[in-house]
Amino acid sequence: MQRKSINGNQLKVIAMIAMTIDHITSVMFPNYPTDWWIIVLHIIGRLAAPIFWFFIAEGYHYTHDLKKYAGRLLVFAIIGHFAYNFAFGIPFIPFKTSVFNQTSVIWPLFWGLIALVISDSTKLKQWQKVLLILGITVITFCSDWSCNAVLAILQIGENRGDFKKQMRGMMIWVSQYALVYAIFINPVYGILQLFVALTIPLLKMYNGERGNWKGMKWFFYVYYPLHLVICGLIRIALHGNIGVMIGG
């Protein structure tokens, strides 16, 4: 049997490293090059998003104060919007250039949490839940990982305790994202999105423990916008103030 030997903090460090590699690669080598080694670096980057989705669902399950948790994510999404758009040369005001990639992945992370609240509500009827979640998919469509991040979080949260079902549901929405990416943005990078499946063995090793360092939460809140600002400075130094991906 596989030993569950990775705690939450360790998984988050893996996600941050993978995310940083992916983002630095994007600003150093813009506009979706297909050199094999650049693709490999982006494949490493696919490890990040599923870990963040997974821990939104875990955070929803464990939090003692849902309002504070949601509030932190919302503030973080606002700060992350400006940092993310600066990193990749995307206008701060949405929809000037595209409907894609107009804000960071933190926006659907926040709404994924809200979607879990709606899904678990005993006060709402099923049709109301469906309507509200459809509304959430609309307002998160323009973000990094689009509304598929919200739907993946829902699958992970609603199927807690059934790892296979969690991952199967997640991959259904990732596959949809990959298809849209391949059709409307870049076919090679569309296929590349499917490599999020490499995260599944890591998540399977999660032992359900947070880890000894309680400061990881706040470290991530600082690290995320900070590394994006550094990416933006690299972008400007190498290419000038231009967009380096779809949305810019």
pLDDT at 3: 64
Per-position DSSP letters for 10-39, written without gaps between them? HHHHHHHHHHHHHHHHHHHS-S----HHHH
Residue 2 has pLDDT above 60, yes or no: no
Distances (CA, A) of 242 to 22, 80, 81, 83, 89: 18, 19, 17, 15, 6
Span 150-161, average pLDDT: 97
Per-position DSSP letters for 211-223, written without gaps between them? -S-TTHHHHHHHH
pLDDT at 24: 98
Residue 25 has pLDDT above 90, yes or no: yes
pLDDT at 211: 87
pLDDT band at 130 (very low <50, low <70, confident <90, very high): very high
pLDDT at 1: 42
Residue 197 has pLDDT above 80, yes or no: yes
Span 141-146, average pLDDT: 97
Percent share of the chain, pLDDT over 90: 94
Look up residue 31 and give its two tokens: 């506009």
Instruction: Name the residue ranges covered by the structural domains of the chain.
Output: 8-239
d(CA 37, CA 27) in angstroms, rounded, equals 15
pLDDT band at 175 (very low <50, low <70, confident <90, very high): very high
pLDDT band at 13 (very low <50, low <70, confident <90, very high): very high
Span 139-159, average pLDDT: 97
d(CA 43, CA 4) in angstroms, rounded, equals 24
Span 72-78, average pLDDT: 97
Residues facing 85 on adjacent strands: none
pLDDT at 217: 82
pTM value is 0.95
